[in-house]
Structure 1
Amino acid sequence: MKNQRFFPKRLFLWSLFRQATSLTFTFLVVGFLSWFALDRIAMSPFAFFLVALGIGLATALVAQLLHLRRLLIPLGRLIEKTRSLRQFPFDLESAEMDFGEDDPGEWFELDRALNQLGQTLRVKTIQLSREKTQARAIMASVSEAVLAISKDRDVLFYNPQMAMLLNIKEGLKDEPVSSILRQPDVLRTYEKSLEIGKALREEVTLNDPRTGGQRHFLLSVSPLEKKHNQEIYGAVGMFYDITELKAAERVRIEFVGNVSHELRTPLTSISGYLQTVIQDINQKKYDDVNKFLSIVQNNVNRLKSLVNDLLDLSNLESGRDIHPDWISTQEVTELVIRQVPSKEHWVATSFESKEVYADFDRVSQVLRNLFENAIRYVPKGKHIWISWKSHGEGEVCLHVKDDGPGIEEKHQSRLFERFYRVDKSRARMDGGTGIGLSLVKHIVQRHGGRIELISKEGQGSEFICHFPNPKASKS
């Protein structure tokens, strides 16, 4: 059913009444003049009628002007009030009623409607401003990058994280999204979400202008709909950075592969030699049994060392507490030297710092791994120096230095990774587990310190373990 148009009935009746009153008054003036002055003025009846008519019309015109003024003054006040609605905040004083119920026509209803509209507009404007401020704060505080585009593929909005990620400059709103994003997989995800009108999740890659490399993201795109008719007018995407998760997954896969290989190699050797021993015993051949069992024992020890190192590494990474105390640097050094055979190398020690605040067992583990590595890779007859020094007032440092072949620069950044080896075949042949230096790094870091490597190919290597010294006066 079609809505009926509003008709200002009261204003119409009021105007009609005023018009009728003016016409009636005109006729009364003309009639009165004709009756009262016709016999007293020396002019023809027609001329007198015209004069009376002119006077009546002039009187009616004055009355009409007064009527129009009475009609238009309220209209002017309403126009001024309507203009004030465009200002923010809406002036509450202008919201006071300018008309009374006895004002002509529907001016009172119109005035009241404008006041209600102004007050509603004020509330909605304040609410919209508050929601806009909250939305900006939320967008700025979100750690993920956010980008919204329109159906025409123009930029609607983006947050500071997105601007930082893509090195976006100010003033790109309403610009084509292709001017800041050129990755086909990202644009394709937005296009598909706009096309089907559903949320989508895809893994994408973006070039990071800050590092020059690529970063991996889980892109979640959802269509933007108008509230009143659910018409899609754009799409918003949130970029969840999963680069570190990808790296962790890659490390996990490599770790599982390395552990499997490290376990399989000695187990295969143990299985093969045990089968040979069983066959020799069955054939009553005992000449090589002791040699084969010695090889089995060495592989068992290698497996035991690998498992122990893995358990230690797991405990350190899970945050298991260490138990630091003031320990003698000379005592822990001499203990390790006695435990590790080193007769084929020249070993020198010095103790500028007599004590270090650390866990005795963990520090001996650090020194043992560094010392064994030096013995394993430094040729016979070369030198190994172990020294404890004070670096300023806040650190006690363990130095393990050699004059061996040194380490190439390309290996140094990855040397402390689990199962990373410079010379893989030699390390396995010499019984290394591949996680000794990684274990050293974690132990030093759990003490609040750091490890440093100084090495040049052909000029030897020096490992420096920095331990915090909470009481420098005791060093």
Structure 2
Amino acid sequence: MSWIWLRVLLTAALVLLGGVIGHLFGGGERRELQGALAGIAGGLLVFIVRDIWRGHQLLRWLSGGAIGAEPPRMGGFWGEMATRIERALRSRERSAANERDRLAQFLSAIEASPNGVLLLDASEQIEWCNALAADHLGLDRHRDLRQRVTNLVRAPAFVAMLQARAFEQPVQIPQPDGSGLLSVIVRSYGDGQRLVLTQDITERERADAMRRDFVANVSHEIRTPLTVVAGFVETLTNLPLSEVERKRVLALMAQQTQRMQSLVGDLLTLARLEGSPRPSSDAWLPLARLGSAVEMDARGLSAGRHRLSFDWGDEVELAGNEAELLSAVTNLVSNAVRYTPESGQIEVHWRQRPEGAGEITVRDTGPGIAAEHLPRLTERFYRVDGSRSRDTGGTGLGLAIVKHVAQRHGGELLIDSTPGQGSCFTLVLPAMRVRLPAGRVAVSQP
């Protein structure tokens, strides 16, 4: 408060100075009084003019945009006012900057949300949306602001929900381009405003459909041999059979039982592959040992009906799970044996690519597969010819197992087939899972 006393002293000094000047130059008692009064008035006028000038400087500073500009440097009342105004403005600017930062962080968090977020006002006009919501609903984040959402998103279920104010349950609507399915949730907040959340549930719905199909397929695949076995049991129980007939029935029952065992075994293999960690990349096994087991099974299954040839390379080693790799290669070779007619040829060979990756290729001279079936061959229970697959003893899970094994080892399964010209299945393993003896150099073979 020092400026108050300074202001009082300055006013008193000016009045006193004006009185002294008036007294000295007044001449006569009456004129001395008039001169003193004139001096006092002059002193006050000087003070008022000085005050008006400083007030003008302060107003000019404020009207010119006080933030960022230096306030006028002056003492007294106006200097104190300028200092306090500057302090208040800077404090308000810091508060506003903090609020802007918090708002920016909040919006960044919403942008990072796995859900689309859309804000509607009381008139259902778009106030704000994140990039994901714009992508889900086919909106332009900037151009469509202040537009009524039902003019842009016309899915009947969504429009009906907004009109009925029925926000208890989410609705499902197709994406504008028809490529997927969205789940939309609406919640009220504020003064009639709406929060709209969107989520892409395409993959979830596809997975649910696959699970339903899987359960249905498993039930069907198990029910068929069970029905056969139950029928034969009833036949053995109720009908007198000759020894030849009885042996035939028992053989068919054994065949169906083996089919169920194979199916359950493949299901357990798939479950184990999906639920276990990735195979180690430092557990090495000789490819020749794996190939020997595959070759023995193939020759037993073929029983001399096919021309078989095997080439497992020279002292190649693979890193991975031996049981999984054996299952994958055995499935490929067994399929070739089952689907290749008698006297057909089956070739299994190893090749290392120039970049170090390795390939186990199974090529047959079977009937081949049409191109439209190739993308779906690794789906569980997918069959090109269901009746023929069952006749050959297949479960419909073999290629699904091979695909899982390849992916778990960082590789892939390649399929090439032409109707009437046979098929070629190639299990590719990455370079990090292939090694040769020290000093050997990989040679690429055609």
The normalised TM-score by structure 1 is 0.74
**Aligned counterpart, 1:207:** 175
Say whether the 8 Å CA contact 2:284–2:317 is kept in structure 1: no
Say whether the 8 Å CA contact 2:136–2:182 is kept in structure 1: no
Larger radius of gyration: 1
**Aligned counterpart, 1:6:** none
Matched, 1:344 2:305: yes
Matched, 1:152 2:109: no
Q: Deviations over 1:10-51 (max 9, x none)?
A: 9xxx9xx99xx9xxx9xx99xx999969xxxxxxxxxxxxxx
Say whether the 8 Å CA contact 1:221–1:237 is kept in structure 2: yes
SS for the counterpart of 1:239 is strand
1:172 and 1:86 mapped to 2: Cα distance? 35
Matched, 1:83 2:42: no
Alpha-carbon distance, 1:160 to partner: 2.9
Identical residues among aligned pairs (%): 25
Consecutive unaligned residues of structure 2, counting only runs of 5 or more, are none
Matched, 1:446 2:416: no
Say whether the 8 Å CA contact 2:125–2:147 is kept in structure 1: yes
**Aligned counterpart, 2:389:** 427
Alpha-carbon distance, 1:165 to partner: 4.3
Consecutive unaligned residues of structure 1, counting only runs of 5 or more, are 1-9, 38-52, 226-230
- Greater mean alpha carbon deviation, residues 149-158 or residues 296-305: 149-158
Matched, 1:327 2:327: no
Aligned residues: 412
Structure 1 residues 157 and 401: alpha-carbon distance in aligned structure 2, compared to 1, 3 A threshold: same
Alpha-carbon distance, 1:297 to partner: 1.0
Say whether the 8 Å CA contact 1:82–1:114 is kept in structure 2: no
**Aligned counterpart, 2:343:** 381
Say whether the 8 Å CA contact 2:348–2:361 is kept in structure 1: yes
Alpha-carbon distance, 1:138 to partner: 1.7
Matched, 1:391 2:353: yes
SS for the counterpart of 1:399 is strand
Say whether the 8 Å CA contact 2:57–2:72 is kept in structure 1: no
**Aligned counterpart, 2:275:** 318
**Aligned counterpart, 1:220:** 185
Say whether the 8 Å CA contact 1:203–1:216 is kept in structure 2: no
Structure 1 residues 174 and 383: alpha-carbon distance in aligned structure 2, compared to 1, 3 A threshold: same
Alpha-carbon distance, 1:176 to partner: 1.3
1:203 and 1:342 mapped to 2: Cα distance? 59
**Aligned counterpart, 1:185:** 157
Structure 1 residues 121 and 377: alpha-carbon distance in aligned structure 2, compared to 1, 3 A threshold: same
Alpha-carbon distance, 1:381 to partner: 2.8
**Aligned counterpart, 2:367:** 405
SS for the counterpart of 2:170 is strand
**Aligned counterpart, 2:422:** 460
- Greater mean alpha carbon deviation, residues 335-344 or residues 249-258: 335-344
Residue from 204, 207, 232 that aligns with 1:273: 232
Alpha-carbon distance, 1:184 to partner: 3.5
Matches within 5 A, 1:11-26: none
- Greater mean alpha carbon deviation, residues 415-424 or residues 136-145: 136-145
2:426 and 2:194 mapped to 1: Cα distance? 54
2:257 and 2:407 mapped to 1: Cα distance? 30
Structure 1 residues 63 and 182: alpha-carbon distance in aligned structure 2, compared to 1, 3 A threshold: farther
**Aligned counterpart, 1:261:** 220
1:170 and 1:359 mapped to 2: Cα distance? 50
Amino acid at match of 1:343: G
Say whether the 8 Å CA contact 1:421–1:427 is kept in structure 2: yes
Alpha-carbon distance, 1:155 to partner: 2.8
